[in-house]
Amino acid sequence: MKKRYPVIILLLTISISAFGQISHGGKPASFELANLKSSIAEFVTPAVDYKQMLKEDLETGRVKRPFRYGKVHDVSLNPENSGTWQTLSSGDRIWQLKIKSTEAYSISL
């Protein structure tokens, strides 16, 4: 009987996590509407000086720990102070903002 408990717990865990996200299907309207504005407001982050970051890591002994994969930039971007709004024929509104980071490998929001 004790050998069955891990199997039961595993099956319960899998079945619970299978419903972890509710999907309503479809694509975002901005993916399918060709007539959206082509000029979207753009926010450009400050450039990241990778050489300076590596130098800091060497000086502080951080190289013995996992490498940093990013640089935090505090910003206050929201639909009221940035981005571009567009009203669709249905009356729905779409807010778009292009975020660019020079020489970044990726962006995490």
Q: How many domains does the chain have?
A: 1
3-state secondary structure of 10: helix
- Would 91 be classed as within a structural domain? yes
20 in a structural domain: no
* Percentage above 90 pLDDT, the chain: 17
What distance in Å separates the CA atoms of residue 32 and residue 44, rounded to the nearest whole number? 26
> In which residue are the tokens 């082509």 written?
38
Report pLDDT digits (tens) over 88-104. Answer: 888 989 899 999 988 78
Question: What residues make up the domain containing 48?
Answer: 37-61+79-102
In a domain, 14, yes or no: no
For residue 107, being part of any structural domain is answered with: no
What is the pLDDT averaged over residues 3-24? 73
Query: To which H or E segment does residue 29 belong?
Result: helix 29-32
d(CA 51, CA 58): 11
pTM of the model: 0.60
Is residue 85, in this structure, part of any structural domain at all?
Answer: yes
Domain assignment of residue 51, yes or no:
yes
Establish if 23 belongs to a structural domain.
no
pLDDT of residue 76 exceeding 80, the answer is: yes
43 belongs to a structural domain = yes
Residue 44: closest CA among 68, 78, 71, 75: 75
